[in-house]
Amino acid sequence: MNSEDGQPRWAAPAPTRGRHRPVRTWRGWGPVAPSPRTTLPRAPAALDEAIDHVTRAALRPGPVGAVGLELEGHLVDPAAPAQRVPWGRVRAVVGSVGALPGGSRVTVEPGGQVELSGPPLPGVAAAVAALRADRAVLADALSDAGLALAMAGADPLRPPERVNPAPRYAAMAEHFAAVGCAAAGLAMMTTTASLQVNLEAGPAAGWPDRVALAHQLGPVLVAISGCSPMLEGRSTGWRSSRQRIWGELDQARCGPLLDSGDPAAGWAAYALSAPVMLVRGPAHATAEPVRGRTSFADWVTGGAQLGGRRPRLADLDYHLTTLFPPVRLRGWLEIRYLDAAPEPWWPALAAVTTTLLDDPLAADRAAAASAPVAGAWDRAARFGLADSALRRAARSCLAAALDAVPAVLRPAVTALTELVDRGASPGDALLSAAPPGGPAAALLAAIDLPEGDR
């Protein structure tokens, strides 16, 4: 829920309990790079100041309750689904969208994906209602321009291609290539889409358990939300190809946080150990890619010079916006591992994720149910609910959520529960559409309308 320059739009922070034992390791994420260090050597004052800055900003204490949602979709011209929409056309239609009734911002990702970023609102029901209202306005604007949004975790048809010419994205692509994950980096930027759930951090005493539970639930919710079984017109054999792509990226930047007993300090160690991706020029008009692996700690201490200078505080704040773990700490918790999915699935996923973390009884039940599959990220992405242990955990977690979700969202969560009971996931509709209609049909099948316009 941040602008591209990293300035937060979040309000206050959030609470929880203190009863869940943190899971100690997160195996099965990806082999590209070693996990970042969770402790840093003693260092000069500049590094101490940087560590303190990140630690203090990682989590803010306060009550749970506020929820912010961010939803991405693949922009498509239904008359020419195999072609990406040209940048000039994208910019024109997005620029024509005025202020939205629910307060969402509209931004465009590297591959032309359109994102709605809603403000923090009091509860998931309000957040879903606001995002639905904004999607309705956006859908009308896109329809007037002959365009639509396909809601899926990954583009099932079109090959990776960067459309947005922003210097940030060009630098990102060069950095990913330099550290050995060029293909995954381009695919992540241009073919993936997610539902992000932003939740308050909660009381400080509960942070270790709350952050651990947010991670522990990851494989279960990846399996439930799986809506990306195809890439470039072919079935990949994975239920969440989006998650597979993220697992192939540099894990010093995209891997999960290892439990350190103090998530704020762990996040600071992660951030300072992670490689710098780019250095912005004066007035932020340019972005110089870092073609190698230089940690921010090395830049701070003078072990390396980037951009011909030492870093400033603004560089550190911007560096934090280039880190993409599945749970990111930005004062609040960003839950980043859910596939985007069409109605009614994304509202149900938002409700379930929020409830399992914010409702004390549901959280306790979810902690017990998800413990046997903690760390099973790859299994969840590849097999989804065909994995019997993940399916058992998913059913138990959904049962816990269903008892506590807001009444207005209970029909959507009930439908999701019934889907999971059948061993199915939101992406099955894409696979079903492809054989009779060809690969383009899978992309078109992901086009939906906001609730009430279906």
- 3-state secondary structure at position 320: helix
Tokens of residue 28, six digits: 């099965």
- Residue 258 confidence (pLDDT): 80
What is the amino acid identity at position 122? P
In angstroms, the CA 10 to CA 357 distance is 18
Only one residue has tokens 């606001």, namely 130
Tokens 């693949």 belong to which residue? 74
pLDDT of residue 450: 57
| Distance between first and last Cα of the chain | 28
In the prediction, which pLDDT does 11 show? Answer: 32
Q: Which residues of the chain have pLDDT under 70?
A: 1-43, 449-454
CB neighbours (10 Å) of residue 400?
Answer: 24
- φ, ψ (nearest 5 deg) of residue 55: -60, -45
pLDDT at 449: 59
Q: State the pTM of this model.
A: 0.91
User: pLDDT (tens digit, 9 = 90+) per residue, 82-107?
Assistant: 999 999 999 999 999 999 999 999 99
d(CA 182, CA 166): 18
SS3 content of the chain, % helix, strand, coil (to 5): 45, 15, 40
